[in-house]
Amino acid sequence: MGVVPLGETWLDQALAGGLRADGLHEFHAADPLDGATALGFALLVARLRRELDGRPLIWARQDDALGRPYGPGLVELGLDPDAVTLLMLKDGKALLRAGLDCVRDGAAAAVLLELHGRQPLLDLTATRRLALAGAASATMVLLARAQAPPSSSVLSPSAAHTRWQVAAAPSRVLPADAPGQPAFALTLLRRRGGGEGLSITLEWNRDQVSFRARTPLPGAVPAVAASGAADEQRRSTG
């Protein structure tokens, strides 16, 4: 099974090509307010996973999660809402059960489990089961977690292939001081095969369906030129 490149060359090299397309990946919100950010990042990874084989996506959510998923917002991120099926489940237990069913079935390209709060059932065994089922059915499993105490989330044992901490990052400013493309501050907390501690801020580009570093990395194009060119383009098209 292949990998899902995120689009930023330097990061993809550090991850040996990208995220495993049939792996289990965890995205932890750094702060309670970063819940939507971690969720958004996981959805965008799912979007990239779809590029490989075009299968639909499943998004499982708890009844008491904040707000309601919004179709027009998915469109704005570059996801096709018609390709996403949403499961609203009553608690974490039902969600893990339904999630495992979805992963085992193998009809979806990726299954996103959005969990918040303490999840005592999400232990090493449960994650291992998800990871094995994903590998068997070529399904990517994404866990987006928010509002969980560190002892029950970022520190808990897990069979995940990668575990990321996601926080919102200030976006690159557009003309007239408008907020720009979504930006994500990522920290790689754990990875099978090493590479922990890696940290990068990525920006999502909907039109090119890929991420790129928000601030150009050493050796890349100078910052001024990059942002200037984008603004030129924006002015001429807008």
Partner 1 sequence: MSRGEAPADQSFALIEKQRGALRIVALNPEAARLGLEPGQALADARGRLPDLAAFPHDPLADAALLTRLARICGDYTPSVQCDPPQGLLLDVTGCAHLHGGEAQMRDHLVARVAAEGLTVHTGLAKTPQGARALARFGGSDLSALPLAALDCEAETLHALTRAGFRRLGDLSRVSRKALAARFGMATTTRLARLLGEEDAHIVPEQARERVFAEARFAEPIGRTDDVLDVIEHLLERTAVTLRERGEGGRAFRARLHRSDGHVARLAVETGAPTRDPALVLRLLRERIDGLADPLDPGFGYDAIDLLIVHAEALPDRQVGLEAERKRPDDLGPLLDRLAVRHGPERVLRFVACNSHTPERAGTLRGLRDDRETTPWPEGQEDEPPLRPLVLLDPPQRVRVTNALPEGPPRQFSWRGKAHSVLRHEGPERLAAEWWHRRDGYQGNPGLTRDYYRVEDEAGHRFWLFRHGLYGLEVEHPDWYIHGLFA
Round to whole Å and give the CA distance between 144 and 165.
10
In the complex with partner 1, the residue whose CB is nearer, 219 or 238, is 238
Any contact of residue 81 with partner 1 (CB under 8 A)?
yes
In the complex with partner 1, the residue whose CB is nearer, 143 or 183, is 183
Any contact of residue 168 with partner 1 (CB under 8 A)?
yes
Which of 186, 175, 159, 172 is closest to 40 using CA atoms?
Answer: 186
Any contact of residue 117 with partner 1 (CB under 8 A)?
no
Smallest distance, partner 1 to C-beta of residue 173, A: 6
Smallest distance, partner 1 to C-beta of residue 136, A: 14
Round to whole Å and give the CA distance between 84 and 188.
27
Residue 201: strand pairing partners: 185
In the complex with partner 1, the residue whose CB is nearer, 98 or 226, is 98
Collapsing DSSP to helix, strand or coil, 7 comes out as coil
Round to whole Å and give the CA distance between 156 and 221.
39
Collapsing DSSP to helix, strand or coil, 230 comes out as helix
Any contact of residue 71 with partner 1 (CB under 8 A)?
yes
Question: Which 145-164 residues touch partner 1, going by CB under 8 A?
Answer: none
Smallest distance, partner 1 to C-beta of residue 124, A: 25
Characterize 74-106 residue by residue with b for buried, 16 or more Cβ atoms within 10 angstroms of its Cβ, and e for exposed. beeebbeeebbeebebeebeebbebbbebbbeb
Smallest distance, partner 1 to C-beta of residue 160, A: 21
Smallest distance, partner 1 to C-beta of residue 51, A: 14
One of 19, 113, 167, 186 touching partner 1 (CB under 8 A) = 167
In the complex with partner 1, the residue whose CB is nearer, 55 or 192, is 55
Q: Are 39 and 114 in contact (CB under 8 A)?
A: yes
Question: Which 29-48 residues touch partner 1, going by CB under 8 A?
Answer: 31, 33-37, 39-41, 43-44
β-strand 199-205 against 183-191: which pairing, if any?
antiparallel
Round to whole Å and give the CA distance between 208 and 27.
23
One of 2, 73, 157, 194 touching partner 1 (CB under 8 A) = 73
One of 3, 206, 216, 220 touching partner 1 (CB under 8 A) = 206
Smallest distance, partner 1 to C-beta of residue 7, A: 16
